[in-house]
Chain A
Amino acid sequence: MLKIRNLHAMIDGKEILRGINLDIKAGEIHAIMGPNGSGKSTLASVLTGNEAFEVVEGTVEFNGKDLLDMSPEDRAREGLFLSFQYPVEIPGVSMTNFMRTALNEQKKYRGEDILSASDFLKLMRDRKNLVDIDSDLTNRSVNEGFSGGEKKKNEIFQMAMLDPKLAILDETDSGLDIDALRIVANGVNKLRRPDNATILITHYQRLLDYIIPDHVHVLFNGRIVKSAGKELAHKLEENGYDWIKQELVE
């Protein structure tokens, strides 16, 4: 589904990603871990097309298409979703209106019929139940006045609405209490299918108790320095990142 080859990217003249290689197949969950400043969030931004970052080298193929050649909105329409680390507030724009615009734009791009108002509202209800989100959240303006936990839950709700092929969850677990974490994790698990995939960007092992990854990668200094199964996350939790740094030096 996603093939990243030798990806280099910079911001303000500073190289943050220094040759990322990664393959993600349908049905898989990948966790990307690493210390602060290792380039985890930059990877998410570059993949989704944030113009603040400049790609200097490398290729990314998404379902056979050149991802880096596409506008941010077309990447989304191709089925790439980002759960933002810091979801943005848009005052006065209702979640209903926002989601309807987004979903219709995506459907138009794919040549599908857009949903009628009643079908759309039905889908909203259905997805709300699936991810166990308060109905109140969707009646409000996009993220306006939401608590940190509410914002993250709202991201998962949007993911459920848009049904992406590949979802990137950028630190979705940070700042969540245990109940909110469970809701977020349950949502992700319920949305998991053999034909979609997820990238979890996280600091902590905690989230991985609820969402079991197939692969765990350690990002350090802009490169993936270690990849293994889910047991790697436990090892990192127990021993921190120092032993990896040590290995690198040796």
Chain B
Amino acid sequence: MGSEQDKLLEEVTNREYQYGFHSDIEMDALPKGLSEDVVREISRRKQEPDYMLEFRLAAYHNWLKMDSPDWAHLKIATIDFQDMIYYAAPKKKPLLDSMDDVDPELRATFDKLGIPLDEQKILSGVAVDAIIDSVSVKTTFRETLAEKGVIFCSISEAIREYPDLVKKYLGSVVPPGDNFFAALNSAVFSDGSFVFIPKGVRCPMELSSYFRINALNTGQFERTLIVAEDDSYVSYLEGCTAPMRDENQLHAAVVEIVTLDRAEVKYSTVQNWYPGDKNGKGGIYNFVTKRGLCKGDYSKISWTQVETGSAITWKYPSCVLMGNNTVGEFYSVALTNNYQQADTGTKMIHLGKNTRSLIVSKGISAGKSQNSYRGLVKVSKRADNARNFSQCDSLLLGDKCGAHTFPYLEINNSTAKVEHEATTSKIGEDQIFYCNQRGIDTEDAVGLIVNGYVKEVINQLPMEFAVEAQKLLQISLEGSVG
């Protein structure tokens, strides 16, 4: 099987990244580099109120005192933070709610991405906030949502229009000084989405945002804040792509979720940033802080992620289970190929009584990639009857890749019940031959087997995204058999 494998592996590595186009949209960008003046200028251009500028400046000064974290199982080239553009906006700023005003180039970009921006085409009822480089371009379905009292808009708009909500919740889950990249994000974040679901409202549709890095040398720092009041529910999705570039580009996002009593938020990500070429050149550095706070009793936050892109992924969507009887869930598929590196997992912090958490992590490594699961389950002294179950599986394709599992447990309450299961397996030649014998070629067989392996996680995604995620996995893996 050796030479066959090499041949197939070569085929994959020669496959081009499907979303690697670049759009010629006129950009209005700040010069490279980061300073207090740049932070002030971002805030000014976005016409932000003073409270926001203060938030940014405090974060910036915090950041100056911090160092880039080095504890992850990752090899990261030194990032020159002065060699980066922190703000880039499409020049013709489109007006919201009128498709006619959107730059045709930009619309073509979204069409290529397959984003259903055009409301008439949307039958499935997904409301979309599309963010290109730094600016939120269009939020669809706003009127329908407004009838229910749901706010779904860009974070920039929220900062201006809903200062009380933003002041109350922004930075309440991920404080500006939380970590190096969160501090950087807090200082320079350019846009992102804001979601507010009022008391007792079940959001009538999936909310969705698409992120795309387009301009050269641009970092993308989006900021998302989701607040779900008592007895509310929302399902939120994000998708990401970027053009092919030789240089590494930085993406350092922060996502914060707050759920009040009996509220539930489902957050799903399909991440397909440009992973770099077959020699490991270029690709996105995806350094993201995502955290949810189950503040109210009986509330629930569920993270589902399918991570197939990025040169480096550093990401631990977490749940702080503060209220009693709260539930946190983390479902993850992380796929790495070629020279990709992923260090991803979750943190489940049990603070309230009778809190429960579930972790299902499926890693897939191919090529020369390194794939690590890193997860913390922490049960505090007061968290009586806390429960956790963790399942961490690794699937290896080939013998040049690595899979690692780093589970951390900190249990400070004797009534806690914590279980951890881990498996590592390889795709068997016998499984592939069995598929071959039924008329399925090897590439399709690998796709089929891998999709079977990740089914538990994919099932958590809304239907149309599940189909997309399955295709994505198949594309990312085609031929990498071992």
Query: Which chain A residues have a beta carbon within 8 Å of chain B's beta carbons?
Result: 48-51, 71-73, 75-77, 81-82, 84, 87-93, 97-98, 101-103, 105-106, 109, 141-142, 158, 162
Contact = CB atoms under 8 A, between A and B. Distances in A.
Interface stretch (B10-18, B315-323, B336-344, B438-446): B438-446
7 contacts: A73-B436, A73-B442, A84-B434, A87-B434, A101-B444, A102-B439, A105-B441
Nearest to A158: B438
Contacts of A141: 452
A92 B439 contact: no
Contact of A90 (B1, B436, B449, B456): B449
Contacts of A84: 434, 437
Contacts of A103: 439
A249 B438 CA distance: 41
B452 A91 contact: yes
Nearest to A50: B433
A73 B4 CA distance: 15
Contacts of A158: 438
Contacts of B452: 90-93, 141-142
B440 A93 contact: no
Contacts of A51: 1, 4, 429, 433
Q: Give the interface residue-count category, chain B.
A: 20 to 34
A71 B436 contact: yes
A73 B439 contact: yes
Contacts of B451: 92-93
A89 B449 CA distance: 10
Contacts of A48: 437
Given A50-B433, A87-B434, A92-B453, A76 B448 contact: no
A49 B430 CA distance: 12
B448 A93 contact: yes
Contacts of B454: 92
A49 B440 CA distance: 13
Interface in B408-449: 428-431, 433-442, 444, 448-449
A92 B436 contact: no
A101 B440 contact: yes
A50 B429 CA distance: 10
Contact of B440 (A81, A87, A88, A105): A105
A199 to B, nearest CB: 14
Contact of B439 (A87, A88, A89, A105): A105
A242 to B, nearest CB: 35
Contacts of A89: 431
Contact of A72 (B433, B449, B455): B433
A211 B442 CA distance: 34
B444 A90 contact: no
B456 A92 contact: yes
